[in-house]
Structure 1
Amino acid sequence: MKNVILYAFVFSLLFNVFQFVNSTKILEGKETEVQKVKTQLKTSRDSLMQLSNSNYFALESDEDAQEYFFSNNLDYQKVAVKVKEDLIVLNENKNGNQLVPYEPIDGKSFIVNTSKILNHRWLIAEFSNGDLWGQILVKYFVSADRPTEFETVETVLYERQTKN
């Protein structure tokens, strides 16, 4: 009888040691997994914060600018489409877009490629002639019955990149 009790005691001791080692490994594995998830969550939060900050200056998120158009009985989404269309129409000039204050270089005129409406008064646009590019800050004035009026506020033309 003593042997049976001794064997049962040794067996239970070994079983408990096995359980302790096994649960410690599982716990460490789960802790590592939790740390990885926390890192991914922090990265995701940082990305979302950058994304929300990147759209801070946009007509779509500027309630004051939207209210300005609403008070003038205009739909800001339709205004945005109209402004962009009127801006692109200016590209049809043979000397390039008149908002870009640079003369054609090497026979290539500057045209506006893309733009972003910042609020009810300003937009920023990127222009190029195929070799050189730059950006313009434009003030615009919208009226329902006339084409949009544009006024260039500031421009920047980037230097031509040289190949080493």
Structure 2
Amino acid sequence: MKRSLLLYLTILFALTTLFTYAFLNSEVQFEQKRFEKTTTKLRDSLTAVSNKLADANYFSLEKNENAQNYFDSQNSNKTIQYEKLIPVVTEKLLDYNSNPKGNPYTGQDQIGANKFIINKVKILNHRWIIADFSDGEIWGEVLLKYFVNDDETISFEVNQSLLYQK
């Protein structure tokens, strides 16, 4: 009797071990397939987002080599690095927000009690800037020309401005 009990326990242990191994093996394979599917989806999403970002930055001084080459000159003393120019131009334009009548480069006169100030700036190339402005209630956009003068000052000129309806 003791022998048959030991034999049954050994068979039961072997079957339990076999079923446990089979279960865990299939679970690992399932998790690996799920991981591969998730990784593939994430790679596809990352590629799609990268492509959209590249399309969005097509009109950008950072990506436009022709516009960047405009600032390179024959005389190495006059070369302007566009990486340093972008924050300087942006800061210079945003400095005009402190004007009591609002930023003059919004192309709009003050309508209500609040003044128009520029919120966001995107430098498109070596000549154009697009900016978003508002007075807290009314929003608009402006297309500006900018010039880097010989004395390295920056001047702006409003090309066109528009206001959105409330």
Paired residue for 2:71?
Answer: 69
Paired residue for 2:42?
Answer: 40
1:60 aligned to 2:62?
A: yes
Q: Which amino acid aligns with 1:75?
A: Q
**Cα distance change, pair 65–24 in 1 and its aligned pair in 2 (3 A):** same
1:99 aligned to 2:105?
A: yes
Name structure 1 gaps, 5 residues minimum.
1-10
Task: Give runs of aligned pairs for residues 14-163 of structure 1, distance below 5 A.
Answer: 26-71=28-73, 73-145=79-151, 147-160=153-166
Report Cα offsets for 1:116-163 as digits up to 9, x if no partner.
Answer: 111100011111112222111111111141632222222232222xxx
Compute the TM-score of the two structures, normalised by the length of structure 1: 0.73
Name structure 2 gaps, 5 residues minimum.
1-10
User: SS where residue 61 of structure 1 aligns?
Assistant: coil
Q: How many residues get paired?
A: 150
| CA–CA separation in structure 2 for the residues paired with 1:37 and 1:146 | 50
**Cα distance change, pair 91–30 in 1 and its aligned pair in 2 (3 A):** closer
| CA–CA separation in structure 2 for the residues paired with 1:144 and 1:132 | 37
The 4+ residue runs of structure 1 with deviation greater than 6 A are 19-22
Compute the TM-score of the two structures, normalised by the length of structure 2: 0.72
Contact conserved, 1:70 with 1:76, CA < 8 A, in 2? no
What RMSD in Å do the two structures reach over aligned CA positions?
Answer: 2.8
